[in-house]
């Protein structure tokens, strides 16, 4: 179903060497603002990984995956970063659009429920009978029916309280709801910053409870990739090295982010990056197989689970959404054990 890349990273760098002198410009579309988890892209710039690939990369902040995906599909941005589940829906609604995921970054998605022990939420078994705060546009809330289905949660016993993003964690801190849907590296930290002791905070990751979905991936315009396969492979290799740099020194990664976002807080973004690395990026599967690729069987299960929350207009096919054809060789993508 998936096809291995022909060019290795070394070959890509050799092929791209004449291009390097021309400093090929590339705009990269993030899905969100500059926060800790975006550190690998800035480290790839600051530590010269993109330059070694012959690329002068500009990373542009975004307003969600539904902002990043059209940017790449239109060709305005050759590459970007977006939730693969959003990409699946986009391609189902826009068949043939020239965009595909080329390197998985969040092997585990950040979808989670964050609750308070003092409000009776110590684990997933406590959700029945609770009050759950959920912003209607929230990505975790969109996938909550999958979590409920695979864990036989009787949602009819729960009270679902629509909340806004700015009021989500304050309502939980004030005890107006027992838990909220959100991302593990955001809601947790927001609650802690409101003064809630960390031993009173429970994080229920969907990926720990039978949800097979993948998370965010590097996406690429397929027309650009077909014309420039060696550049895409080299860029993915540079990003992989940026991830490894972030693993080695999260504080340096956060500092690279804050250099582009002076209003941020280095300590906060270091912690946010560490949470993303530990829960979403450096998983057991990634330690064993290297980052970037996917398990085809898991992807098939994920697509079947998506049917619980989305009615496909066309028969889904994993090959439409992800390819490993441009990945650099495994040695580039291996992370520390």
Give the separation between CA 323 and CA 5, rounded to whole angstroms: 9
Residue 319 Cα distances to 2, 157, 197, angstroms = 7, 39, 45
CATH of the domain at 43: 3.40.190.10
Q: Write out the residue range of the structural domain in which residue 117 sits.
A: 111-208
Domains of the chain: total? 2
132 and 92 within one domain = no
Q: What is the pLDDT of residue 121?
A: 98
218 and 91 within one domain = yes
Q: What is the pLDDT of residue 48?
A: 98
Decide if 2 is inside a domain: no
81 and 101 within one domain = yes
238 and 169 within one domain = no
Phi and psi of 119, rounded to 5°?
A: -100, 10
pLDDT per position as a tens digit, 133-177 = 999 989 999 999 999 999 999 999 999 999 999 999 999 999 999
Q: Where a domain ends, among 208, 223, 256?
A: 208
Helix or strand or coil: residue 32?
coil
Q: Where a domain ends, among 148, 182, 208?
A: 208
168 and 148 within one domain = yes
227 and 147 within one domain = no
Q: Where a domain ends, among 208, 239, 257?
A: 208
99 and 133 within one domain = no
pLDDT band at 23 (very low <50, low <70, confident <90, very high): confident
Decide if 163 is inside a domain: yes
pLDDT per position as a tens digit, 60-106 = 999 999 999 999 999 999 999 999 999 999 999 999 999 999 999 99
245 and 200 within one domain = no
329 and 217 within one domain = yes
Give the separation between CA 34 and CA 172, rounded to whole angstroms: 25
76 and 15 within one domain = yes
Q: How far apart are the first and last CA of the chain?
A: 29
Decide if 21 is inside a domain: yes
Strands (E), the chain: 24-29, 55-60, 79-83, 99-104, 111-116, 131-134, 159-162, 179-183, 201-205, 216-221
pLDDT per position as a tens digit, 124-133 = 999 999 999 9
Decide if 39 is inside a domain: yes
Helix or strand or coil: residue 94?
coil
Give the separation between CA 183 and CA 145, rounded to whole angstroms: 16
């Amino acid at each position: 179903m998936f096809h291995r890349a022909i060019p290795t990273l070394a070959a890509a760098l050799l092929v791209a060497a004449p291009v390097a002198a021309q400093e090929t410009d590339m705009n990269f579309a993030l899905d969100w603002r500059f926060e800790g988890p975006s550190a690998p892209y800035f480290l790839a710039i600051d530590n010269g990984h993109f330059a070694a690939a012959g690329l002068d990369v500009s990373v542009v902040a975004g307003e969600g995956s539904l902002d990043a995906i059209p940017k790449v599909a239109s060709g305005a941005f050759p590459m970007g970063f977006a939730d693969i589940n959003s990409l699946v829906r986009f391609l189902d609604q826009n068949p043939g659009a020239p965009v595909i995921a080329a390197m998985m970054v969040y092997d585990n998605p950040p979808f989670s429920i964050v609750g308070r022990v003092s409000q009776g939420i110590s684990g997933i078994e406590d959700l029945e009978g609770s009050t759950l705060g959920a912003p209607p546009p929230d990505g975790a809330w969109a996938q909550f029916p999958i979590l409920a289905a695979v864990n036989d949660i009787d949602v009819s016993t729960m009270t679902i309280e629509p909340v806004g993003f700015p009021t989500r964690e304050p309502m939980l801190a004030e005890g107006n709801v027992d838990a909220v849907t959100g991302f593990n590296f955001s809601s947790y930290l927001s609650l802690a910053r409101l003064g809630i002791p960390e031993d009173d905070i429970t994080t229920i990751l969907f990926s720990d409870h039978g949800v097979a979905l993948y998370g965010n991936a590097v996406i690429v315009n397929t027309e650009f990739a077909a014309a420039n396969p060696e550049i895409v492979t080299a860029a993915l290799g540079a990003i992989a090295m940026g991830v490894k740099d972030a693993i080695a020194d999260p504080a340096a990664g956060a500092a690279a982010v804050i250099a582009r976002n002076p209003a941020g807080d280095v300590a906060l973004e270091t912690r946010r990056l560490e949470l993303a690395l530990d829960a979403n990026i450096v998983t057991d599967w990634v330690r064993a197989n290297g980052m970037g690729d996917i398990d085809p069987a898991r992807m098939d299960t994920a697509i079947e689970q998506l049917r619980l929350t989305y009615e496909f207009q066309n028969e889904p096919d994993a090959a439409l959404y992800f390819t490993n054809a441009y990945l650099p060789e495994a040695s580039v993508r291996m992370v520390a054990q």
